[in-house]
A and B are shown apart, each in its own frame.
Chain A
Amino acid sequence: ETGVTQTPRHLVMGMTNKKSLKCEQHLGHNAMYWYKQSAKKPLELMFVYSLEERVENNSVPSRFSPECPNSSHLFLHLHTLQPEDSALYLCASSQDFPRGGFFSGANVLTFGAGSRLTVL
């Protein structure tokens, strides 16, 4: 395990279902991220939380709703998804969120293994 745990590892849901993805990190990191990974496409940043405050929201449809109750936990709530939302959803964390235009060792991303989502 990399220190970032994602559950469930696999999820199949219908378009009218409501489900949630969970991410937990025990690394003492202050920033957490959701990425979407689709086949043969670049990783897409969805949301970023720094110290439990959302700092990035990359034009993600409202059917995806993130929640960060504390610095160790991150959720992605899913509602009325479309088949094209089927993908691997990766959670990541870093010691700190990069600020001031400079990536340091504290900004290195540690990824979880992902949650494979299939929308029927």
Chain B
Amino acid sequence: GENVEQHPSTLSVQEGDSAVIKCTYSDSASNYFPWYKQELGKGPQLIIDIRSNVGEKKDQRIAVTLNKTAKHFSLHITETQPEDSAVYFCAADGGESGGYNKLIFGAGTRLAVHP
């Protein structure tokens, strides 16, 4: 089935720096890639998503890029702020092997932004 790997597992940056989290997926038929942010004591919340017919999407300080050939996608956060500190999860739909109606999640990246 579909497998999603996420790196790094932890990331520490200084306030104002950029942060990049990378994910790879295994099923080339996957076509939907969301990113979720989980703050302490809360459930994950969708922050941005991208579909396979688009290479890049931006929303203020957050951007996601998708490389279908290499089967990887990345989350970019610019001008990081302490409130960006959280666990970030990438996901991909299951594709042909895992089922298009399922989301397969990565293991998460714990981002710490230091003032």
Are A43 and B105 in touch, CB under 8 angstroms? yes
Q: Is A47 located at the chain interface by the 8 A CB criterion?
A: no
B44-94 interface with A by 8 A CB criterion: 44-46, 49, 51, 89, 91, 93
**What is the CB-to-nearest-CB distance from B46 to chain A, in angstroms, rounded to a whole number?**
5
Using CB atoms, name the residue of chain B closest to A1: B42
Residues of chain B within 8 A of A45, CB atoms compared: 102-103
**Cα distance A57–B34 in the bound complex, in angstroms:** 22
Are B44 and A98 in touch, CB under 8 angstroms? no
**Cα distance A46–B45 in the bound complex, in angstroms:** 19
State the interface size on chain A (CB cutoff 8 A): 24
Q: Identify whether the interface residues of A are mostly helix, strand, loop, or mixed.
A: loop
Q: Is B112 located at the chain interface by the 8 A CB criterion?
A: no
**A113: which of B42, B46, B51, B103 is its contact (CB, 8 Å)?**
B42
User: Of B42, B44, B46, which is in contact with the most chain A CB atoms at under 10 Å from its CB?
Assistant: B44
Q: Is B115 located at the chain interface by the 8 A CB criterion?
A: no
Encoded as 1 (CB less than 8 Å from any B CB) or 0, chain A from 103 to 120 comes to 100001111111000000
6 closest Cβ pairs, A-B complex: A111-B43, A101-B100, A103-B32, A43-B105, A98-B101, A42-B105
**Complex A-B: 9 CB contacts under 8 Å:** A41-B107, A42-B104, A43-B44, A99-B101, A102-B31, A102-B100, A103-B93, A111-B44, A111-B45
Interface residues of chain A, those whose CB is within 8 Å of chain B, are: 2, 4, 40-43, 45, 56, 90, 92, 97-103, 108-114
**Further contacts, 5 of them, CB under 8 A, given A108-B49, A109-B103:** A2-B45, A45-B102, A90-B43, A103-B34, A108-B46
